Chain A
Amino acid sequence: MLKSRWTSLIATAALVLATTVAQAQTAPDAWIKQISGEVIDAVKADKAIQAGDTQRILALVNAKILPGVDFQRMTSSSVGRYWRQATPEQQKRLQEEFKTLLVRTYAGALTQVKDQTVELKPLRAKPEDTEVLVRSEIKGKGEPIQLDYRVEKVADGWKIYDVNVLGVWLVESYRASFSQEISASGIDGLISKLAEKNKAAAAKG
């Protein structure tokens, strides 16, 4: 009993180590291709996700996507110049509420995946670049959907810090809304607005 648990633990540790090492060596576009491929395959294989099972989708997003996203940077750039004025406590809450909002949105989009494939466009970056633009297209029925990522190099691979859907960057879109909210009712006002939005969505299911 104890022995088999140890064996599986060691096996898991080895696996984790192997993936981390592999990730450190991948090019950013290959990395994006790998994650998006894995996510699409997981959705295709899972009837519960296609039917809209929120728990299952969140589990998938938490396992596959979240480790590859720099939420701290995404939040701080969306909040813009007000970020420095926020206390560490406020920064933490902003980041958490924003993350909840984005994860739910992404989860909703995932239920739409059916027969799509991801195609990467040629990468225009030097090997030593630490911030890279990865451009891709989701192809399925109808028009292809433009989906670009800004990724940064971190110690053990890459992390996404901005996403572009159909020519619209996520951070830039939220910056206008956030600064409008902050100048009207302060940083706490923005936090409670985000929390309110998340609560309403959670109640809806």
Chain B
Amino acid sequence: MRRATAALVCSAVVLTGCATAQRPDPLEPMNRKVFAFNDAVDAAVLKPVAQVYKAVLPSPVQLAVSNFFGNVKDAWSAVNLFLQGRFADGLSDVMRFGTNTVFGFAGVMDIATELGFERHGEDFGQTLGRWGVPTGAYIVWPILGPSTVRDSIGLPVDMKATPESVVSVSLTRNTMTGLRLVSTRAGLLSATGLIDDIALDKYTFVRNAYLQRRRSLVYDGNPPDEEDPDAMMPPEAPAAAAESAASAPAPKAR
């Protein structure tokens, strides 16, 4: 086990070194193959099942299922917020988990949101990001989908924090994992339909959207501006932009 961890860390370091501005996606050839495989599996199995799930189950039941899994995520989110040193937000997620577990019948009802406790949804990948671990190369995993080196390190830890990981009977555990996947997929049906409509190349689009979204999540929806050589400025803007950059206080390094 220890050797496997060491190997993972080593390869992570190597891969991190590979992702540069010139080569944002060093694993692209392999990633594209896995992406195509995932797409095929999704079209053949996951999407049809999710469509049936959405069509057949009454929506209150669907909501209850997604609330139940969401509730366990809130507990894990609280742990991550504490790890990031954000104690007020962490306490708020503890309150969420407590309220929904006790008064929401083990989490099937989301009462905390009605009471004004907003969900934070932090995972271990975001915690690593807060700690300053670089993103590393983009990786597409079979079935699990888009990820990065950093998020992949977080992945096994995050998977420990699902309700089924405490269930010892394997049939129940597998059913729960299946239900969780289908429930998640059903929630994404309209979004994936949209991607089919607007993306010129689905692989590039999903990669870009994933990386942008993860970056935004690490900075809680407000990431600092990136240096952007390709950006088009309106003719009179460059001078003004330089001026405001000079007068603005330097962005805080995270």
Q: B-contacting residues of A (Cβ < 8 Å)?
A: 73, 76-77, 80-81, 83, 101-102, 104-105, 108-109, 112, 130-131, 135, 141-144, 146, 152, 166-169, 172-173, 175-181, 193-194, 197, 201
Task: Please judge, given known A-B contacts A77-B232, A80-B230, A173-B212, whether A146 and B200 are in contact too, CB under 8 Å.
Answer: no
Q: Which residues of the other chain, A, contact B160 by a CB distance below 8 angstroms?
A: none
By the criterion CB–CB under 8 Å, are A80 and B194 in contact? no
A143–B77 alpha-carbon span in the complex (Å): 15
Q: Which residues of the other chain, B, contact A169 by a CB distance below 8 angstroms?
A: 212
By the criterion CB–CB under 8 Å, are A168 and B200 in contact? no
By the criterion CB–CB under 8 Å, are A172 and B208 in contact? yes
Q: Which residues of the other chain, B, contact A76 by a CB distance below 8 angstroms?
A: 232
> Which of A83, A176, A181 sits near B232, CB closer than 8 Å?
A83
B190 at the A/B interface (Cβ < 8 Å)?
A: yes
> Which of B201, B212, B215, B217 sits near A181, CB closer than 8 Å?
B201
B156 at the A/B interface (Cβ < 8 Å)?
A: no
Task: Please judge, given known A-B contacts A176-B204, A180-B204, whether A81 and B230 are in contact too, CB under 8 Å.
Answer: yes
Interchain nearest-CB distance for B237 vs A (Å): 8
B231 at the A/B interface (Cβ < 8 Å)?
A: yes
A2–B199 alpha-carbon span in the complex (Å): 51
Q: Which residue of A lies closest to B213 (CB)?
A: A167
Q: Which residues of the other chain, B, contact A152 by a CB distance below 8 angstroms?
A: 234
Q: Which residues of the other chain, B, contact A178 by a CB distance below 8 angstroms?
A: 200
A81–B233 alpha-carbon span in the complex (Å): 11
Interchain nearest-CB distance for B37 vs A (Å): 21
- Chain B interface residue count, CB cutoff 8 Å, equals 33
Q: Which residues of the other chain, A, contact B212 by a CB distance below 8 angstroms?
A: 167-169, 172-173
Interchain nearest-CB distance for B189 vs A (Å): 11
By the criterion CB–CB under 8 Å, are B194 and A105 in contact? yes
By the criterion CB–CB under 8 Å, are B205 and A143 in contact? no
Task: Please judge, given known A-B contacts A105-B194, A108-B194, A173-B205, whether A166 and B213 are in contact too, CB under 8 Å.
Answer: yes
Q: Which residues of the other chain, A, contact B200 by a CB distance below 8 angstroms?
A: 177-178, 180-181, 193-194, 197
B197 at the A/B interface (Cβ < 8 Å)?
A: yes
B11 at the A/B interface (Cβ < 8 Å)?
A: no
A77–B228 alpha-carbon span in the complex (Å): 11
A142–B62 alpha-carbon span in the complex (Å): 12
A112–B199 alpha-carbon span in the complex (Å): 20
Chief secondary structure at chain B's binding surface: helix
A201–B190 alpha-carbon span in the complex (Å): 16
By the criterion CB–CB under 8 Å, are A167 and B217 in contact? yes
Q: Which residues of the other chain, B, contact A131 by a CB distance below 8 angstroms?
A: 237
By the criterion CB–CB under 8 Å, are A105 and B197 in contact? yes
B209 at the A/B interface (Cβ < 8 Å)?
A: yes
Q: Which residues of the other chain, A, contact B213 by a CB distance below 8 angstroms?
A: 166-168
A194–B199 alpha-carbon span in the complex (Å): 10
By the criterion CB–CB under 8 Å, are B197 and A77 in contact? no
6 shortest A-B CB distances, which residue pairs? A167-B216, A80-B230, A167-B213, A177-B200, A77-B232, A168-B212
Q: Which residues of the other chain, A, contact B230 by a CB distance below 8 angstroms?
A: 80-81, 175, 179
Task: Please judge, given known A-B contacts A167-B216, A173-B212, whether A101 and B198 are in contact too, CB under 8 Å.
Answer: yes
A112–B234 alpha-carbon span in the complex (Å): 35
> Which of B197, B201, B232 sits near A80, CB closer than 8 Å?
B232
Q: Which residue of A lies closest to B190 (CB)?
A: A112
A201–B193 alpha-carbon span in the complex (Å): 12
Interchain nearest-CB distance for A133 vs B (Å): 9
- 21 A-B residue pairs with Cβ-Cβ distance under 8 Å, sorted by A, are A77-B231, A131-B237, A135-B222, A141-B63, A142-B63, A142-B187, A143-B119, A146-B216, A146-B221, A167-B212, A167-B213, A167-B215, A168-B208, A168-B209, A168-B213, A176-B204, A176-B205, A177-B208, A181-B200, A181-B201, A201-B197
Q: Which residue of A lies closest to B228 (CB)?
A: A172
A109–B213 alpha-carbon span in the complex (Å): 19
Q: Which residues of the other chain, A, contact B190 by a CB distance below 8 angstroms?
A: 112
A123–B2 alpha-carbon span in the complex (Å): 50
A143–B205 alpha-carbon span in the complex (Å): 23
